[in-house]
Amino acid sequence: MSSLNRLMDRTDRLLFNYMEYNFRAIEKKWQARWVETKAYQVSNNSPKPKCYVLDMFPYPSGAGLHVGHPLGYISSDIYARYKRLKGFNVLHPMGWDAFGLPAEQYALETGQHPAVTTANNLASFRRQLDNIGFSFDWEREVRTSDPGYYKWTQWIFLQLFDSWFNRSLQKAERISTLITIFEQSGNAAHECPGDRYIRFTAEEWKQFSEVRQREILMHYRLAYLAFAEVNWCAALGTVLANDEVINGVSERGGFPVVKKKMRQWFLRITEYANRLLEGLETVSFSDAMKEMQRNWIGKSQGAEITFQIDGIENAGVTVYTTRPDTIFGVDFMVLAPEHDLVSLITTPDKKEDVEKYLDYVQSRSERERMAEVKQITGCFTGAYVLNPFNGQRIPVWISEYVLAGYGTGAIMAVPCGDQRDFNFAKHFDIHITNIIGDAFNGEEANATKDATLQNSDFLNGMNMREAMDVVIDKVEALGIGKRQINYKMRDSGFSRQRYWGEPFPIVYKDGTPYPLDEKELPLTLPHVENYKPGEEGEGPLANITDWVNVDAHTRRETNTMPGYAGSSWYFLRYADPKNTEVFADRAATDYWNQVDVYVGGTEHAVGHLLYSRMWTKALYDLGYIGFQEPYKKLINQGMIGGSSRMVYRVRGTNTYVSHGLKDQYETDELHTDVNIVDGLELDIEAFKNWRPANKDAEFILEDGKYICGVVLEKMSKGKYNTVNPDDVVEKFGADTFRMYEMFLGPVEQSKPWDTKGIEGVHRFLKKLWRLFADEQKGIIVNNDAATPEELKVLHKTIQKIDADTENFSYNTAVSQFMICVNELSSLKCNKRSVLEAVLVLLAPYAPHIAEELWHQLGNTTSILDAPYPVFDEKYTKESAFTYPIAVNGKTRTELSFPLDADNAAIEKEVLENEAVQKWIDGKPVKKIVIVKGRMINLVV
RNA sequence: GCGGGUGUGGUGAAAUUGGUAGACACGCCAGACUUAGGAUCUGGUGCUUCACGGCAUGUAGGUUCGAGUCCUAUCACCCGCACCA
C-alpha cells in the first residue's frame, strides 16, 4: 500500500469517527485522488459536444497570487465544471505567459537567469492554484518560453513574413503570389502599403536587383522590417509599444519615453483594421470592450484633396479631411512640422522663423507635448496654396498640433467648424470665414453637420451632409483627390531590445534579411552572462558575438519578440500541446474550434485581444485553421480592490488612538497589515510584533478595543492590504474561498475584498454538512420519499442554479444555495433523493465537499460526471398566489386567491375586504387592475 | 473634450426586466445552550414616529393604475481614449 493510500485511509477513519466538516483533510484527499485518477484529463475524441473555457494565462510574477487573481479562474472553473456535468467535453487548460520584462529586470539586478526565476515563480503560482482546486487539464500546460512552444511562435512569424495582404480580396496570401503578380503586371493593381509612391511595371520589376526586389517585398509583408520612430525608453533600454506608453512615460516604471529612429520589425495589423472592426459584430464582448477596440482602430471616412501650391508648378499639398463639405471655409492650411514639403515651400523671408520653430519642436519631448495640449504654437511658412474650387489663396502654416503619422500629415483648417482650428486662427489673428450663417456665433466653432451652407459657391443652400458626397464626387472628377478611409491604429512594433523573449528566426546576409528554414526551428535562446543592452540600444544578444555572427557575411537578428507574440496564439496550442510536427493538428483545432468563453481582465482590451484576433485571421487566411475569431464570448472579471486598515498615531509619540477617539488628538494615519485585524478590531499583540518599532507602542482604546479605520484602494504590498489565498484556504478551505469570491458580487464588477464576510459562506457549508452528518451519529441521510414542500425547494433551486450558472450570475447562485440549505434545514430534510441532487448542483462551486459527501452517501463514481438534476415545473407550480393589494399604488394588505380564479370573483372579495374598505374610505373605485400571479391595484 | 459604465441600508449586494424595494450575507442588538465563546442555535435590524402612519433606490421633472427599472434634464464617482483633421 502506498503511503498516499495509507494517509487517505487514516483520513477516512478520522472523518468517520468525528463526522465534522474537516475541510483540510477532505480537500487534500480529493485533490490527490483527482490527480491520481486523471480526473481532469480531456480527450480530443469524444461523441459529446465540445466546450472550450479559457482563462487569460498569467505572467508568473515573483509576488505570487493575491485574492484578486483567482476571481476569473474560479468563474471559469465553475463554468467548465458545470458544462461537464451538462454533458459537454470541456477543454479547460492553463499555462504560462513566461517571457517578459520583470524576470529580465530582476536578472539585471541580481544576476539570476530569467529561466531560473521564471521556473521558481511558476512553481509557486502552480502550488497556489492547486490549493484552490481547479479542474485544469495540466497535461496540456503550455509555457511560452519553452522551445517546444516558441518554435511555433517563430514558425507563425515566418508565415507572416511570407505573406502579404491582398486588399482587393481582403485577405492574406503568400508572397509567392505577389511575385507572380509583379512579374505579370507590376504593382499597378496592388498599391504598396509600406510606401504608396512605389510604382513599377512588370518590366521594371524584372530589371530590379534581388536586393531591390526584396526591399519592395518587405513593404508588403505582414511581418516586416522598417526604419521608424519608435518609443525609446532609455531607462528600460528598450522600445515600447504604443499601448505600453501612458502619457509619455512607460507603463511599467513610469520612465520617460522619447522618439527614436530604429530598424524594427512590425506587424502590418493596419491591413486587418477593417476586418478587426467587422469581426466585432460576430463576437459577444461587452459594449465597453467593443467600444474600446473600435476606438483604438479609429476608423474615419473622408477624402484626400490636393491643393496646388501657389507659384510652384505641379506641386501640391494633400490633406486628409472628414469634412469635405467645409472646403469653402478653409482659411489656412497646417502641415506637421516633420512634413516633407516644409523645406520646399518655406519662402526665404520666413526661413529663419520656420527653422527656429522646428528647433523648438525638436527640443520638446513627447512628454512635454502631451502635457501641454492646450498650448497653441505654430509658424507661417510664407507659402500659399490655392483652393481648387475658387482659386482663393490660403496661407500654409506648420504646427505641432498636426501629427505627421495620421492621414497625410496636413490638414485644411476650417476655423468656424473646428475648435482647434478656431483657437489657432484666433491666436494668430487669421481671418475666419463663416460658411454656416447663424450656426456660427463667432465665439466658438460649431462642428455641426446639419447646418445649411453659405459662402460656399456651388454648395450654397445645401445641407452639409449632402454636400460631403457632392464635393468628393467633384474632387474625384477633377482628379485632385479621392474618397479615403483612415485608421488611427498604427502597425505594431514587434522588436524588443531584450533578452528574455523569442529570438527572431532571421539572418542578415550583407544586410538583407532572410528567414531561417523551418527545419532550423526552434532557434533557441542562447545563454548569456549579462543582461545589459548591447551598443546603440541593441538587445543583450548582440553581445554574444559567436552566436550573432554565423559567418563572415551572415549576422543574426539580435532583437527578440515582444510579450504578446506568445500570447497571440496560445489558445490554439492547448488543442494539441505536444505536437512536434505542426503548431496544432488541424483536426484538433477544428474540433475545439473557437474559445467558447474567455475570461480575463480589461487591461488586455486593446493589446492582447487585437493581436491575437489578427494572428487568428492571418492563420485562417493562410488555411491553417478553420475560424477567424479566436474568442466567441469574453467575460471581463472586475478587480478586487484592497480594503486597507488604518491606525492613528498621536503625532510625535508611539501611542495609537482608536478610530472613534482620533479626533481628540493630532494624529498621523498609518497603514497596518490587514491580516492582523479582525474586521475592524486590531490584534494588539500581533501589531506589537508586526514591526520592531511597534514593540513598545501604547494604545488608547474604546470599549477595550482598538478600532481601525478603513480606506478602499488598490491591493498592493506597500499598503499592507494584500491577502494571500493560501492563508484564506488554510483557515476556511478552498470551497469556502471559491464560493466567497463568487458571493462578493457580479463577476464583471470591481469590489473590495473583506475577509470578515467569508464567515457567512463558511457557515453555510457547515450547515450543509449537518444536513448529511451528525457529529455523534455520523451520516444521517435516509431513503424516505421527499415531501412536496421539499421537492419545491429542490426544484426552485435547480431552476435558479442552472440559469444563474449559465449566465455567470454566480453571486445570486450562491445566495440560492444558502436559501436552499436554510429551508431544507428548517424542514429537517435528510433525504437522499433531495440532498444528492443538491450536491450535484453544488459540485461546480464547492467540488471538494460535494465529492466527499457524494461518496459518503455510498456513490462509488466521481460526482464530476454525475447526472445533472433536471428541473420539473410541476413541483414548483403553485395553485394559489398571495396577492399584494394596493390602493393607488400603495400596498395595503395581502389576499390569497387561486391562480385560476376569475377576475370578477377576485374583485368582489377584494372590495369586501375590511382593510381595503378602510383605505378606499368611501371614495368611488375608478378601476381595478388585476395582474395574474403578480398583484392587484385599486384606483380610487 | 469624446466614448463606456455605476449611483439602492452601517457594509457587500438582490429585485423574475414595469408589479410587495432591500432577497442572501457581513456587521450590530437581544436571547438560548455552554466552564468558556471569536462555536452553535433562535429572534430582531432601511429611516422616522409612543402609535396610526409617513418617508425612502444620487437630484429634479415626466410617462403610467403602478417606476430602482422607461423618457428628459442635472449632479457625483469609476474606467478607457485623448491635439486623429
Cβ atoms of A820 and A793 closer than 8 Å: yes
Q: Higher pLDDT residue, A679 or A726?
A: A726
Confidence category of residue A5, pLDDT binned at 50, 70, 90: very low
As ranges, strand B nucleotides with an atom below 7 A of a protein CB are 3-5, 11-16, 19-21, 23-28, 38-42, 54, 65-67, 78-85
Confidence category of residue A105, pLDDT binned at 50, 70, 90: confident
pLDDT tens, position by position, A86-98: 999 999 999 999 9
- Identity of the highest mean pLDDT range in A663-677, A683-697, A730-744: A730-744
Provide the pLDDT for residue A397. Answer: 94
Q: Which nucleotide is nearest to A404 (CA to C1')?
A: B84
Q: Which nucleotide is nearest to A322 (CA to C1')?
A: B85
Instruction: Give me the CA A798–C1' B84 separation in Å, rounded.
Output: 52
Q: Which nucleotide is nearest to A289 (CA to C1')?
A: B4
pLDDT at position A233 over 80:
no
Instruction: Give me the CA A389–C1' B60 separation in Å, rounded.
Output: 52
Residue A332 lies in a domain: yes
Residue A191 lies in a domain: yes
Confidence category of residue A241, pLDDT binned at 50, 70, 90: low
Report the distance separating Cα A862 and Cα A29, nearest Å: 13
Q: Higher pLDDT residue, A243 or A152?
A: A152
Q: Which nucleotide is nearest to A809 (CA to C1')?
A: B14
Say yes or no: A907 and A870 in one domain.
Answer: no
Residue A445 lies in a domain: yes
**Domain final position from A654, A679, A698:** A698
Instruction: Give me the CA A255–C1' B6 separation in Å, rounded.
Output: 33
Instruction: Give me the CA A264–C1' B82 separation in Å, rounded.
Output: 27
Provide the pLDDT for residue A16. Answer: 47
Provide the pLDDT for residue A536. Answer: 66
Between the alpha carbon of residue A382 and those of residues A331, A385, A389, A411, A456, the distances in Å are 14, 10, 22, 17, 26
3-state secondary structure (DSSP) of residue A591 = helix
Look up the protein residue whose alpha carbon has the minimum distance to the C1' of B15.
A812
Instruction: Give me the CA A328–C1' B71 separation in Å, rounded.
Output: 40
pLDDT tens, position by position, A144-201: 999 999 999 999 999 999 999 999 999 999 999 999 999 999 999 999 998 888 999 9
Look up the protein residue whose alpha carbon has the minimum distance to the C1' of B53.
A892
- Bridge partners, A232 (sequence order): A239, A258
Instruction: Give me the CA A571–C1' B12 separation in Å, rounded.
Output: 35
pLDDT at position A11 over 70:
no
Say yes or no: A317 and A451 in one domain.
Answer: yes
- Torsion region of A146: left, alpha or beta (phi above 0 gives left; psi -120 to 50 gives alpha): beta
Look up the protein residue whose alpha carbon has the minimum distance to the C1' of B13.
A745
Q: Which nucleotide is nearest to A302 (CA to C1')?
A: B85
Residue A736 lies in a domain: yes
Q: Which nucleotide is nearest to A418 (CA to C1')?
A: B85
Cβ atoms of A388 and A305 closer than 8 Å: yes
Say yes or no: A746 and A864 in one domain.
Answer: yes
Instruction: Give me the CA A70–C1' B13 separation in Å, rounded.
Output: 21
pLDDT at position A304 over 80:
yes
Q: Which nucleotide is nearest to A420 (CA to C1')?
A: B83
Instruction: Give me the CA A614–C1' B52 separation in Å, rounded.
Output: 70
Q: Which nucleotide is nearest to A817 (CA to C1')?
A: B24
Residue A549 lies in a domain: yes
Provide the residue range defining the domain that includes A418. 299-487
Say yes or no: A278 and A311 in one domain.
Answer: no
Alpha-helix residue ranges (DSSP H) falling in A651-700: 684-690
Look up the protein residue whose alpha carbon has the minimum distance to the C1' of B5.
A288
Say yes or no: A367 and A456 in one domain.
Answer: yes
Look up the protein residue whose alpha carbon has the minimum distance to the C1' of B6.
A749
pLDDT tens, position by position, A246-264: 666 776 677 777 777 778 8
**Domain final position from A852, A875, A898:** A875
Look up the protein residue whose alpha carbon has the minimum distance to the C1' of B64.
A889
**Domain final position from A541, A556, A571:** A556
Question: How many structural domains compose chain A?
Answer: 5
Provide the pLDDT for residue A10. Answer: 46
Instruction: Give me the CA A746–C1' B67 separation in Å, rounded.
Output: 24
Report the distance separating Cα A72 and Cα A95, nearest Å: 15
DSSP A721: -
Give the closest residue to A505 by CA, choosing from A839, A160, A822, A122.
Answer: A160
Between the alpha carbon of residue A154 and those of residues A277, A408, A554, A911, the distances in Å are 27, 34, 19, 81
Look up the protein residue whose alpha carbon has the minimum distance to the C1' of B25.
A760
Instruction: Give me the CA A826–C1' B31 separation in Å, rounded.
Output: 20
Say what the ipTM of the complex is.
0.94
Say yes or no: A854 and A931 in one domain.
Answer: no
Say yes or no: A439 and A360 in one domain.
Answer: yes
- For residue A282, what are the contacts with CB-CB under 8 A and spacing of at least 6? A629
Q: Higher pLDDT residue, A121 or A877?
A: A121
Instruction: Give me the CA A890–C1' B56 separation in Å, rounded.
Output: 14
Q: Which nucleotide is nearest to A320 (CA to C1')?
A: B85
What average pLDDT is seen over chain A?
Answer: 88
Confidence category of residue A365, pLDDT binned at 50, 70, 90: low
Q: Helix A70-85 to helix A734-743 angle, to the nearest 10 degrees? A: 100
Look up the protein residue whose alpha carbon has the minimum distance to the C1' of B14.
A812
**Looking at this protein, which amino acid is placed at residue A595?**
V
Residue A67 lies in a domain: no
pLDDT tens, position by position, A25-68: 999 999 999 999 999 999 999 999 999 999 999 999 888 888 88
**Looking at this protein, which amino acid is placed at residue A685?**
E
Q: Which nucleotide is nearest to A759 (CA to C1')?
A: B26
Average pLDDT of the residues in A212-228: 93
Confidence category of residue A706, pLDDT binned at 50, 70, 90: confident
Say yes or no: A247 and A337 in one domain.
Answer: no
Instruction: Give me the CA A923–C1' B49 separation in Å, rounded.
Output: 28
Instruction: Give me the CA A937–C1' B69 separation in Å, rounded.
Output: 19
- Identity of the highest mean pLDDT range in A110-114, A441-445, A910-914: A110-114
Look up the protein residue whose alpha carbon has the minimum distance to the C1' of B23.
A815
Say yes or no: A255 and A347 in one domain.
Answer: no
Q: Which nucleotide is nearest to A638 (CA to C1')?
A: B79
pLDDT at position A635 over 60:
yes
Residue A339 lies in a domain: yes
pLDDT at position A720 over 90:
no
State the CB neighbour count (10 A cutoff) for residue A335: 24
pLDDT at position A850 over 50:
yes
Cβ atoms of A569 and A552 closer than 8 Å: no
Report the distance separating Cα A94 and Cα A111, nearest Å: 29
The β-bridge relationship of strands A332-335 and A393-398 is: parallel
Provide the pLDDT for residue A112. Answer: 87
Using only C-alpha atoms, chain A has a radius of gyration, in whole angstroms, of 35
Instruction: Give me the CA A773–C1' B32 separation in Å, rounded.
Output: 23
Provide the pLDDT for residue A375. Answer: 78
Average pLDDT of the residues in A557-563: 91
Provide the pLDDT for residue A4. Answer: 45
Say yes or no: A421 and A326 in one domain.
Answer: yes
Count Cα atoms within 13 angstroms, Cβ side, for A383.
28
Look up the protein residue whose alpha carbon has the minimum distance to the C1' of B20.
A884
CATH number of the domain within which A924 lies: 3.10.20.590
Say yes or no: A805 and A831 in one domain.
Answer: yes
Say yes or no: A661 and A784 in one domain.
Answer: no
Residue A486's H or E segment, with its range, is strand A481-487
Cβ atoms of A524 and A499 closer than 8 Å: no
Q: Which nucleotide is nearest to A937 (CA to C1')?
A: B65
CATH number of the domain within which A826 lies: 1.10.730.10
Q: Which nucleotide is nearest to A938 (CA to C1')?
A: B65
Instruction: Give me the CA A826–C1' B32 separation in Å, rounded.
Output: 18
CATH number of the domain within which A351 lies: 3.90.740.10
DSSP A427: H
Look up the protein residue whose alpha carbon has the minimum distance to the C1' of B24.
A815
Instruction: Give me the CA A763–C1' B38 separation in Å, rounded.
Output: 14
pLDDT at position A411 over 80:
yes
Residue A202 lies in a domain: yes
Provide the pLDDT for residue A3. Answer: 42
Instruction: Give me the CA A763–C1' B45 separation in Å, rounded.
Output: 20
Give the closest residue to A15 by CA, choosing from A728, A769, A846, A760.
Answer: A769
Residue with cell 481532469: A40
